[in-house]
């Protein structure tokens, strides 16, 4: 008798034969296509073959120093034929993570020198499984190296999930049994959505356009899975229109789930809230950093069978009908090599994936991202919908390995943009560099509520101080990431409340309000910026097309000695400036952003800056994971603001007291502290001599302004 795992709380060991068979069967069920099932079955059957070693069995029996088992399993897979190449990577990496190709080769060389051990392991496996390998031919690998690499990623995800589920059933059956495999009940969800649509007002031009757009998009539900676009102006209900089409499309093609990918957590909050109100709490799963950490150690936490805990279990493998997640979570998981992050990826197969505000995808990652999505579409029955007012140029062209066919759900978006032309663009001083005094003077003269969006925190802080000394508005607000998330949410809620109450307010903000923040100002000022930022800023102006206001005003200006977040941002802003000076109507045309995007990715930005696609062709999984970062890590560090409020002080004191008693901090405490944290550069930490304390936290006990946030003068962190 050979064992896979030690005794569980009931005193029973996990039989190796049983574990391999059940993992194989579960992995096979996760295969995204019939022809792949044999390969996925073999991955489960062979993943722990190294546990047939005497040393490993002795480790389980006597606690002898742990014996590695993944490497020998990968080597045995290498002896079974070239068509099983993906098995080598996934078996070697099913604990430590998918390796680079050179690591795989070196592993095979190491074990090739110990044929006696290999023979013992293979003989014991064959005795139990009676030549299970080779009974049925495995499908040939794709000719395309990138498709084979993507297949390896699907296989790794399926194996990880299958292995962990079977191990969980052994050690923690109550946790395993708490998992709920909910299905996408398209009919009931469509009924709820159509009931909501029937209750919406139908009078007025905007409401009629929303209905027209929704019906036009819905007509395309039966088209084959692939790539789609939904390009509509801000305020025409893209979110619910996209979900409506996705449900119809999923029902027609028998797809399993809908995944909604959003750029920012604050948009997730409002989108998830809308969907939960419509479909019920159980149908919608939120997955972002505020819900669960991507860390294998989470598996070891104590489990309480509560509704929240059950949802957190579903976050691990996305076994839910509707998932709402972030771009960071979705894309970095696709390119990751770590088991915990990759575990959910196989459930992207047979789904509809909606990308909202897709223009926020970093341009230097555009090409490898699109190539990865093309690979997924080729391997699995999955549809991708790009949903935005400013649609990037993702189509295939010379110098950009884009998508061959993107089918628009709205055939002529120009008619909608022309019908909802709710703003007039104006240039302050013909976009000649203006002083802060000039901008201050212009804002002080505004008789209506106004929003000014600038490019850096230092400018936002300066302009707020200048404008708030006037008393011509009822209230003045400042917004930037120098404020902790709790502070920003509170201010955004107050701004929305004041706008609804028709109070005259002035808001100075960085670009954090451009996408997903539902503001409706009669007038918006925007410092010159990349084109998508300009157009998205205009979406905060006359958003609902209030006939009493006429057309909203968007005033573009350029500051003297203008600073930008980075060189790419500056170059894109310069291109925008040149373009609109020559042709102001460019800002209203529906193809303007597509043409601008082509110029940016061909002239200003390397669309595969870190050569991720070439690394994928070489099967360098670890390098790819290190290089693909939506938010570049290591540039900023979170500091906890002790003196933000009584609540933040109390939470910090409670957390530190808990640490003193136990020597560690709970993940839930970390998550709560995130609401009172601000990101800063290393330079800030050095200048203020801030280091991690014994608890692992960086704590700011200095000033925190109730309007501006982190109060030192040198607060330039991230935008």
Helix (H) or strand (E) holding 283: none
Protein fold of 196-418: Rossmann fold (3.40.50)
Per-residue confidence (pLDDT) for residue 537, from 0 to 100: 92
Signed CA dihedral, 682, 684, 687, 690: sign only: negative
Helix (H, G, I), strand (E, B) or coil at 50: helix
Question: What DSSP designation does 610 have?
Answer: T
Q: Is 548 exposed, middle or buried (0-12, 13-18, 19+ CB in 10 A)?
A: exposed
Arithmetic mean of pLDDT, 567-596: 90
Helix (H, G, I), strand (E, B) or coil at 183: coil
Percent of the chain with pLDDT over 90: 63
Signed CA dihedral, 77, 79, 83, 86: sign only: positive
Per-residue confidence (pLDDT) for residue 709, from 0 to 100: 93
| Residue 523, phi then psi, degrees to nearest 5 | -145, 130
Per-residue confidence (pLDDT) for residue 308, from 0 to 100: 47
> What six digits make up the tokens of 457?
């925190």
- The C-alpha angle 239, 287, 314, rounded to 5 degrees, equals 115
Q: How many residues are listed for the chain in this entry?
A: 719
* 464: nearest Cα among 719, 705, 718: 705
> Which residues 6+ apart lie within 8 Å of 473 measured at CB?
446, 449, 504, 505, 506
Per-residue confidence (pLDDT) for residue 131, from 0 to 100: 58
Select the highest-mean-pLDDT range: 158-162, 178-182, 672-676: 158-162
Per-residue confidence (pLDDT) for residue 603, from 0 to 100: 86
Residue pair 645/666 in contact (Cβ under 8 Å)? The answer is no
> Which residues 6+ apart lie within 8 Å of 35 measured at CB?
139
Helix (H) or strand (E) holding 203: none
What does the alpha-carbon distance between residue 576 and residue 574 come to, in Å, rounded to a whole number? Answer: 5
Cite the DSSP H helix spans in 254-365: 265-279, 307-317, 327-334, 339-342
Select the highest-mean-pLDDT range: 211-215, 273-277, 582-586: 211-215
What does the alpha-carbon distance between residue 717 and residue 637 come to, in Å, rounded to a whole number? Answer: 10
Same CATH topology for 196-418 and 421-589: the answer is yes
Reported confidence tier of residue 296, pLDDT bands at 50, 70, 90? very low
Residue pair 73/47 in contact (Cβ under 8 Å)? The answer is yes
Percent of the chain with pLDDT over 70: 92
Evaluate whether the domain defined by 3-171 bears CATH number 3.20.20.10.
no
What does the alpha-carbon distance between residue 185 and residue 191 come to, in Å, rounded to a whole number? Answer: 10
Reported confidence tier of residue 315, pLDDT bands at 50, 70, 90? low
Integer-rounded Cα Rg, in Å, for the chain is 28
- DSSP bridge pairs for 287: 325
Select the highest-mean-pLDDT range: 50-64, 284-298, 525-539: 525-539
Residue pair 90/156 in contact (Cβ under 8 Å)? The answer is yes
Reported confidence tier of residue 289, pLDDT bands at 50, 70, 90? low
Per-residue confidence (pLDDT) for residue 67, from 0 to 100: 82
Per-residue confidence (pLDDT) for residue 134, from 0 to 100: 53
Per-residue confidence (pLDDT) for residue 62, from 0 to 100: 84
Per-residue confidence (pLDDT) for residue 346, from 0 to 100: 93
> Which residues 6+ apart lie within 8 Å of 697 measured at CB?
640, 655, 656, 665, 673
Select the highest-mean-pLDDT range: 76-80, 91-95, 110-114, 287-291: 91-95
The pLDDT tens digits of the residues spanning 392-408 come to: 999 999 999 999 999 99
| Residue 386, phi then psi, degrees to nearest 5 | -90, 120
Question: Which residue is listed with tokens 């530190």?
Answer: 656
Question: Which residue is listed with tokens 């120098």?
Answer: 482
Per-residue confidence (pLDDT) for residue 301, from 0 to 100: 43
> What six digits make up the tokens of 509?
């903000």
Poorest-pLDDT segment among 99-113, 369-383, 680-694: 680-694
The pLDDT tens digits of the residues spanning 630-651 come to: 877 767 888 999 989 999 999 9
CA 265 vs CA 83, 288, 608: distances in Å: 42, 7, 26
Poorest-pLDDT segment among 158-167, 257-266, 596-605, 663-672: 663-672
| CATH code, residues 421-589 | 3.40.50.300
Reported confidence tier of residue 288, pLDDT bands at 50, 70, 90? low
Helix (H) or strand (E) holding 391: none
Q: Quick one: how far is CA 333 from the chain centroid? A: 8
- Domain definitions of the chain by residue range: 3-171, 196-418, 421-589, 636-710
Residue pair 515/360 in contact (Cβ under 8 Å)? The answer is yes
Per-residue confidence (pLDDT) for residue 389, from 0 to 100: 85
Residue pair 3/57 in contact (Cβ under 8 Å)? The answer is yes
């Amino acid at each position: 008798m050979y064992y896979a795992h030690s005794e569980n709380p009931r005193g029973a060991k996990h039989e190796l034969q049983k574990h391999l068979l059940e993992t194989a069967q579960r992995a096979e069920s996760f295969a995204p296509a019939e022809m792949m099932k044999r390969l996925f079955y073999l991955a489960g059957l062979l993943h722990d073959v190294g546990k047939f070693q005497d040393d490993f069995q002795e480790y389980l029996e006597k606690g002898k120093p742990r014996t590695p088992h993944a490497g020998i399993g990968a080597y045995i897979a290498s002896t079974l034929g070239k068509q099983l190449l993906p098995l080598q990577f996934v078996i070697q990496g099913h604990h430590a993570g998918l390796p680079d190709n050179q690591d795989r080769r070196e592993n095979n060389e190491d074990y090739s020198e110990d044929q006696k051990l290999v023979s013992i392991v293979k003989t014991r496996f064959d005795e139990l499984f009676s030549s299970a390998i080779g009974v049925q031919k495995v499908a040939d690998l794709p000719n395309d190296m990138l498709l084979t690499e993507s297949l390896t990623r699907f296989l790794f995800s399926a194996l990880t999930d299958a292995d962990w589920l079977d191990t969980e059933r052994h050690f923690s059956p109550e946790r395993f049994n708490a998992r709920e495999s909910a299905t996408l009940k398209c009919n009931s969800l469509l009924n709820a959505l159509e009931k909501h649509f029937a209750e919406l007002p139908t009078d007025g031009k905007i409401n009629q356009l929303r209905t027209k757009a929704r019906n036009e998009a819905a007509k395309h539900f039966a088209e084959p899975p692939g790539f789609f676009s939904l390009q509509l102006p801000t305020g025409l209900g893209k979110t619910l229109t996209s979900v409506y089409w996705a449900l119809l499309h999923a029902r027609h093609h028998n797809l399993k789930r809908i995944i909604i990918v959003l750029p920012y957590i604050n948009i997730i909050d409002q989108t998830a809230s809308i969907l939960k109100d419509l479909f019920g709490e159980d149908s919608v799963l939120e997955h972002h950093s505020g819900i669960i950490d991507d860390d294998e150690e989470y598996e070891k936490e104590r489990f309480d069978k509560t509704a929240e805990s059950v949802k957190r279990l579903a976050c691990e493998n996305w076994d839910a009908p509707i998932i709402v997640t972030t771009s960071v979570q979705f894309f970095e998981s696709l390119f990751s090599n770590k088991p915990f992050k990759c575990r959910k990826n196989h459930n992207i197969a047979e789904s509809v994936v909606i990308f909202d505000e897709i223009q926020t995808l970093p341009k230097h990652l555009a090409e490898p991202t699109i190539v990865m999505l093309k690979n997924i579409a080729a391997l699995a029955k999955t549809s991708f919908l790009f949903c935005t007012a400013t649609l990037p140029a993702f189509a295939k062209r010379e110098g950009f390995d884009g998508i061959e066919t993107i089918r628009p759900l709205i055939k002529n978006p120009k008619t909608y943009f022309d019908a909802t032309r709710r703003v007039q663009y104006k240039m302050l001083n013909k976009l000649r560099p203006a002083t802060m005094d000039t901008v201050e003077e212009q804002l002080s003269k505004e008789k209506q509520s106004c929003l000014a969006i600038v490019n850096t925190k230092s400018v936002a802080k300066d302009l707020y101080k200048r404008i708030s000394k006037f008393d011509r508005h009822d209230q003045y607000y400042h917004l930037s990431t120098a404020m902790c998330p709790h502070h920003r949410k509170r201010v955004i809620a107050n701004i929305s409340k004041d706008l609804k109450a028709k109070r005259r307010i002035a808001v100075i903000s960085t670009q954090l309000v451009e996408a997903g923040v539902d503001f409706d100002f009669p007038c918006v000022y925007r410092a010159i910026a990349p084109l998508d930022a300009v157009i998205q800023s205009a979406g905060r102006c006359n958003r609902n097309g209030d006939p009493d206001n006429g057309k909203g005003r968007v005033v573009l200006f350029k500051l003297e000695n203008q600073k930008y977040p980075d060189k790419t941002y500056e170059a894109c802003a310069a291109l925008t400036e040149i373009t609109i000076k020559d042709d102001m109507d460019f800002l209203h045309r529906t193809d303007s952003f597509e043409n601008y995007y082509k110029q940016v990715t061909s002239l200003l930005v390397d669309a595969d800056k870190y050569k991720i696609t070439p690394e994928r062709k070489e099967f360098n999984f670890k390098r790819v994971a290190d290089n693909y970062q939506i938010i570049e890590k290591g540039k900023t560090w979170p500091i906890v603001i002790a003196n933000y409020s009584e609540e933040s002080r109390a939470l910090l004191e409670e957390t530190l007291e808990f640490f003193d008693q136990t020597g560690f901090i709970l993940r839930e405490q970390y998550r709560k502290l995130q609401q009172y944290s601000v990101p800063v550069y290393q330079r800030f930490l050095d200048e203020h001599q801030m280091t991690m304390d014994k608890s692992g936290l960086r704590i700011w006990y200095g000033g925190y302004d109730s309007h501006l946030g982190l109060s030192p003068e040198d607060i330039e962190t991230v935008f």
